[in-house]
Each structure stands twice: as C-alpha cells, then as structure tokens.
Structure 1
Amino acid sequence: MRITAYTLCSAVGEGRAATLAALRERRSGLTQNDFGSSPIPTWIGRVAGLEQQALPTELADWDCRNNRLAWRGLVADGFIEAAREARNRYGAGRVAVVVGTSTSSIGASEEAYARLDADGRYPVDLRRPIIHTPHSLGDFVQHALGLTGVSVTVATACSSSAKVFAQAERLIRTGIADAAIVGGVDTLCGSVLFGFNSLELVSPEPCRPFDVQRRGINLGEAAGFALLEKQAPSGAWLLGYGESNDAHHMSTPHPEGLGARLALSDALQRAELQPSDIDYINLHGTASQKNDEVEAKLVADLFPATTCASSTKGWTGHTLGAAGIVEAAISLLALEHQLLPGTLNLNIPDLACGPQIRRDNLQREASHALSFSFGFGGSNCVLVFGRDR
C-alpha cells in the first residue's frame, strides 16, 4: 500500500518542513502550561492560535478546537488538494475516511456545561449536536473533503491513529474502498489535563523519555493525515501492521510487554521482515515509569545494537489519539530525509535500555522504520514503513 501524501501539525510547527527543521535543530515545542483558567504545573505541546482561528463558513457547524486543528492539518503541505484529486480520480464514494481521536471535541462539551443558561441548557452557540459526539472528527473530515463513502472514527486511546492505517488497508484490500484518508487529531482540554494529573502521570518538567529521572508525560495536541492508495507509481510504503489487546490493566502495560510483542511479531510477519531489517523505531516512549521500562526491554531483547530507536515525545508532547499519525509521519520523514531522530532530554538512560535507544540524531541510510503505539487498556499497534525508491 502506497502513502502518496501526508502532513502533520503539532507544537513544533505546521507541515513537514517545519517538523523536519525542529527535528534537525533539536528544538522542542514544549512550553510551560498556560491552558485553562487554573493551569496545573506541567509542560504542554500547544498549537498556537487555535482560539483565533475560524473554519470556512460552509463548515461552521463543526466549529470547535479539535476541528479547527483538523482543518489546519488538512490545509498544510497541500494535503487537501491531494485528497480532492483522489476524490476526483476514484469518486467521492470510493475514498474512505478513517481517523483516530481519544477525546474528539469534548472541549466544546466542557465549555457548554460551563456556560449553561438559566434553564440548564447548552448556550445557543453550542447547540450543535455533531460537535458533542465521538464521531465529530470523522464527520468533519468527510464533509470538508466532499466525500460520501465509508467514514470511521477510531477511539482506542493512544493507538487510535496508528490503527487507522490497519483498518484502511483492509478496506482497500477487500475492495470496499479504492483509497483512504487516514489521520488523527486530539486537542488539549480540561478533562485530559486534569484526568492525567489525577493518575499522577503528568510531569512538572519537560518529559524525559527513558531517563532514570523521568517523572511522567507532557500532554500535547496535534493533527496529521495521510493518503493511502493501492495503485500509485510513487510514495512510501505501508508494508505491514500488527494489532493486539492484552487487557492487562486500564492504565498500565503488561509487565512483560505481551501485547506489544504480539503486535510487533504480526507487523514484521506481514511485512516479511526480520528485526535486523529495521533501521529506525519510533517508540511510544511516553516518559512514564512502566511504559518506558517495558518498551525498552522489548527493544533490547529483540533488535540488534545497530538499530536506532527513539522517542519523539520531547518535541511534541504526548498527543494521545493523534500520537500514532504524528509519529508515523515522523517515521516517514526519517526515511525520506535519512535523518533518524534521537531522544530529547535523555541524559542518563534507564538500566533497562539497550544500545538501540539513542540520545543523539543520526544521519544515515535507512530503508525500513517501525512506529510503536501502545495505549491505555493494552491497545497496541505497530506499523512498518518502507522508503520510496
């Protein structure tokens, strides 16, 4: 399956070029938390200017922070033009939309409850049911692109916008669609910030993936999209995927990484590759205690020392349901530009880390990359990408 267009927008900038520049310069997008009326002491990956942004008039019914960021992602890198060309090529009913999110537009619902009128009803400007549903994102993207085919919103926590690649591949392979727009969007809101803080998972300082002194995650927001086509002369390859659900605990991974190992094994088998064939791994690497420990052991056990593995959460923060697409896009950038990102803020590696987990960027030839997405509830997805040749 070919990836013929892709884009991303996060705290480090809008579009592929801005993201690549931030990776090269090792410039983080994290800033001290200033979100909401009572900011908790942490750092966040905030996309600037969403409050002042407006959707096109014809899309005003979908207006909310999450869909504003989705629109910003769609228009970056000329992606919306590529999507519309695919619509013209295949037909509006033959291009599927498969997008991932964990919070959808819950921020708009929070605002509505905070502004209930005297009768206990939502304020007039927020009486738009579509923005208060889990499918708000998928519905918005489908209408924004003028598509009429299959539209699915995937919500499997942090693996959401990685699993969209797998679902889209199946839709195309079985003939239900000829192409697919995949992606993910999640934005900051009170439920996310205070919810993760209540779990004691939020770091009061910039996150430090795989470091012995890591103190937790930094939350971020992002949007990313990709166009998948079966018949295309060029573009990077989606070579394989693996999915699993270990259901070990609501917020803690299986202590032996059982589900992650199953997803990895299936992904490599589909791609017909061995661990030694992988040049770069974009790790889930949230900087939480258990996630990093389990993931580091998985990599140390299975991959040769020459493999480059890193977490890019120090650039963008943990973008939750958008993490899969953002890190898939970074993996594609790594292959396209032969730049393998290191891990920001990693000073002293955890003892569980093998030589694969790198602190510094590497400029070297790379043909195959993995992207790991391991979410709450043990929802796991591993993607395998191949360089366009």
Structure 2
Amino acid sequence: MSHSMTARAPIPCCLSRPAVVCPLGDTPAAIEAALFQGQRGLVDDDALIDARTLPVGRVATPLPDDSAWPAQHRSRNNRLLAAALTQLAPTLEAFRQCHPDARIGVVIGTSTSGIGETERHLGHYRQTGQWPEAFHYQRQEIGASARFIAERLGLDGPAYTLSTACTSSARALTSARRLLASGRCDAVIAGGADSLCRLTVNGFAALGALSDAPCEPFSVNRRGINIGEAAALFLVTRETGGIQLSGYGETSDAHHISAPKPDGAGAQAAMEMALEMASLTPGEVDYINLHGTATRLNDSMEALAVAKVFGEASACRSIPACSSTKALTGHTLGACGALEAAFCWLAMQTERLPPQVNDGHIDPQLAPLRYATADTRQTCRRAISNAFAFGGNNISLLLERAS
C-alpha cells in the first residue's frame, strides 16, 4: 500500500461531541467513568427468549415519553434517538442559526427500527385476529428512524436510513462524509440506534452465537455475544479542528451469509483503505476499537487481520493498543459502529483508552495483539474503529484529532 500518492481529503469532516445513550449511561461523565474503568453495563434478562436467562446491555436511564407522538413514531428505537437528540440539541441549534434546514441531512443506521413494538402487538393479533388500535406498520419500516428525526426537527435536507446489520451506523458516518463532499449538505446528523427485541435475540440464538454469561472477547474461554441496545449521534460538518473522520474503508467478503472470511482479507483491506484515504501509515495509529464480538470466528479473523496490517508498522513501534468495548455494552448491532466511534472520540479527548475486559485468559491461538488495560495512559491522536457484519461486509473508520 502506498501512502505517498494519496492526497488529503478535499474538505474537513468534523465529528461533534457525540450524543450517546447506552448501557453505560446517558451523560458524558457516567459513560466516561464506566468506559475507562472497564465497568460492564450488562444485566440479566429472562423476557427476550423462552426458558433462558441472558446477560444483555439494556439502557436503564429514563427515556422520553412517546405517548403524544404520532403513532408511526412511537417506538423504543425512536425514544433512544430522542434522548440522544436532546444531548445534541445545543450544537445543532447553534448550527441552524447560520444554515438553512434544507442543507442539513439525516443519515441513520439501524437493524431493528420498531420491530419490538410489533412483537408485542402480534400477541393481540393472534388472540383476536385484529391489530390493536395502537399498532402502526410504519414504525417498523427501516426508514422510520431517519424520518422520525427529520420530522421531529423540521429538517428539509436528505434523510434516509441504512441497514447493513452491524455496520449500519458506521456506514451512516461515511455516507454523511460523502454528502458533505458532494456539496449537497452543510451538516448531517449521523449515527444509529437499535433496541432490544426478541427477533434479534432469538435469531442469534438460532445461530448458536449467544453466551449465557458476560462475553469474553479474545479469551480462550469465549462462548459468544451478548446483545445490547444504544443510540449514538454526531453532527458532522465541514468545520476544521476537533475530531475528524479522516478516512474509511469499506469492503465485502462475499464469503458466507453469517460467518466472516477466516483469513480476514476483507477486514484487512478495509483498514488499509482507511489508512490510505487518511494518508497515514500503520505506525501512526494509537488505538484500535476492535469489533470483538467474542465469537470464535470473529475474534480469530480480526486478530489476524490487525496483525497483518499493524504487525510490521515500524521497527520501533508495536501494534497499537486494542480493545473491544462490547464486553461493556454488549453488541448493539446497527448502533455499534457509531457507538464505538463515539468511544474513540472520547479516548482522543481524554487520552485514556477503554481497557480490554475479559477473564484474563487471552487465547494463545489468536494472532498476538497489544490489549489496553485500565492503567493504559497515552496520547491518542488517531484511532481506528472496526465494524463487521453479516454477509461479510466490513468497515473501518479512521478518526483523527486535528492539531
């Protein structure tokens, strides 16, 4: 890979302070405290799957009341987004004073939308043969999330939702960057949300991918994932300074409907593309937020891909510090790309790194990585956040703190 021939992006792509609602909390102070101390935000749940109790990453903080909203917008997914929007409001309102609403876009990633509400209404339908009055099909449409935000805020710019499973909200950020580069928008509200529901939990159970205990990414004892929920939003603008999305890479393995390609070629290529777009060498990256689902196949593939890209970074520099924050939040599916980009954003602002939380028994069969600990203190100027999804679609985001 050659970096010398690649020019810097023609426009800046600044990510505002993230607005986050997740199992670690809903304020910067609460989230940072849990994130950098490695505190798990998982709770036991026996309602999402029959005859089985599972640890899940459930948002416990109060969410906005949706009883007065239009029926098509009443869903837990949108309540998560509304809570995040409240945090984003001061930044957005200051921007709107100088820019027309037609120049502000909305791009959201999700995989569940309002399916949880439909699940509850199905019980009524099975008993009576009729849908309850509160049921509205539109709330479960994939496009509902972006439409909700645009209508709630009265924005007239492009508004659409992406659903590529666990890469959805990471792709929303790259789509926002392209909207800015095209000149179509001056700013984009970008990120994602997913809420806990029986459909996803039972689907992953059918694949044999769920762990009955808190997940253990990269441990020899890893047994699978925990499912979580979250919302994470950014206002993406052309402003200079701050935290920039300076590169990204998107690839597709086309290897298997649910399993990653074992050699990690697609993940490797995504990281290399992100580095090339940002005109950076591997040795200039300080931290990698790993996708790290704690499944046998993902962790093996990802460790191998990271070692291939960063193992020869420099004769005097080791592999960047790495960690998977899914041990803390669970796998938030369509929200994880934006959520974990937000964690990288916080790491670059605080110069603390999220530690790798597991049982301490790293799998010796994995390619060796340098895992961050709660005691890790270092300057973090540049970070990569990985997200990989069903169908072998991969994305790596490269965030950089401007000088």
TM-score category (smaller protein): over 0.9
Could you say what secondary structure the match of 1:24 adopts? helix
The structure 1 residue matched to 2:320, chosen from 268, 282, 307, is 307
Q: Which amino acid is the alignment partner of residue 386 of structure 2?
A: F
Q: Percent identity?
A: 38
Residue 344 of structure 2 is aligned to residue 331 of structure 1? yes
- Please name the residue that 1:154 is paired with: 162
**1:194-343 maps to which residues of 2 (within 5 A)?**
194-230=202-238, 232-304=239-311, 305-343=318-356
CA offsets per residue over residues 8-29 of structure 1, 9 Å max, x none?
1111100322111102332110
Which ranges in structure 1 are unaligned for 5 or more consecutive residues? none
Structure 2 Cα separation of the partners of residues 60 and 82 of structure 1: 28
Residue 82 of structure 2 is aligned to residue 71 of structure 1? yes
- Please name the residue that 1:125 is paired with: 134
- Please name the residue that 1:28 is paired with: 40
The structure 1 residue matched to 2:198, chosen from 190, 200, 207, is 190
The structure 2 residue matched to 1:45, chosen from 24, 35, 57, is 57
Structure 1 Cα separation of the partners of residues 117 and 69 of structure 2: 19
Residue 375 of structure 2 is aligned to residue 366 of structure 1? no
8 Å CA contact retained: 2:37, 2:374: no
Deviates more, 1:143-152 or 1:110-119: 110-119
Could you say what secondary structure the match of 1:115 adopts? helix
Q: Which amino acid is the alignment partner of residue 377 of structure 1?
A: G
8 Å CA contact retained: 2:192, 2:231: yes
Residue 19 of structure 2 is aligned to residue 7 of structure 1? yes
Could you say what secondary structure the match of 1:90 adopts? coil
Deviates more, 1:33-42 or 1:335-344: 33-42
Could you say what secondary structure the match of 1:383 adopts? strand
The 1:149–1:160 alpha-carbon spacing in structure 2 relative to 1, beyond 3 Å, is same
Aligned-pair CA distance for 1:39: 6.0
User: TM-score under structure 2 normalisation?
Assistant: 0.91
Residue 137 of structure 2 is aligned to residue 101 of structure 1? no
Deviates more, 1:20-29 or 1:190-199: 20-29
User: TM-score under structure 1 normalisation?
Assistant: 0.94
Deviates more, 1:90-99 or 1:285-294: 90-99
Aligned-pair CA distance for 1:5: 3.2
Aligned-pair CA distance for 1:317: 0.4
Residue 120 of structure 2 is aligned to residue 111 of structure 1? yes
- Please name the residue that 2:7 is paired with: none
CA offsets per residue over residues 265-308 of structure 1, 9 Å max, x none?
11111000111110000000000000000001111222142410
Structure 2 Cα separation of the partners of residues 345 and 370 of structure 1: 21
Deviates more, 1:236-245 or 1:139-148: 139-148
Residue 361 of structure 2 is aligned to residue 348 of structure 1? yes
Structure 1 Cα separation of the partners of residues 201 and 176 of structure 2: 31
Structure 1 Cα separation of the partners of residues 212 and 373 of structure 2: 21
Aligned-pair CA distance for 1:89: 2.2
Structure 2 Cα separation of the partners of residues 59 and 226 of structure 1: 25
Could you say what secondary structure the match of 2:60 adopts? coil
Q: Which amino acid is the alignment partner of residue 287 of structure 1?
A: A
Deviates more, 1:208-217 or 1:60-69: 60-69
The 1:171–1:267 alpha-carbon spacing in structure 2 relative to 1, beyond 3 Å, is same
The structure 2 residue matched to 1:138, chosen from 136, 146, 163, is 146
Structure 1 Cα separation of the partners of residues 263 and 49 of structure 2: 41
Structure 2 Cα separation of the partners of residues 361 and 69 of structure 1: 32
Aligned-pair CA distance for 1:147: 0.7
Structure 2 Cα separation of the partners of residues 118 and 24 of structure 1: 48
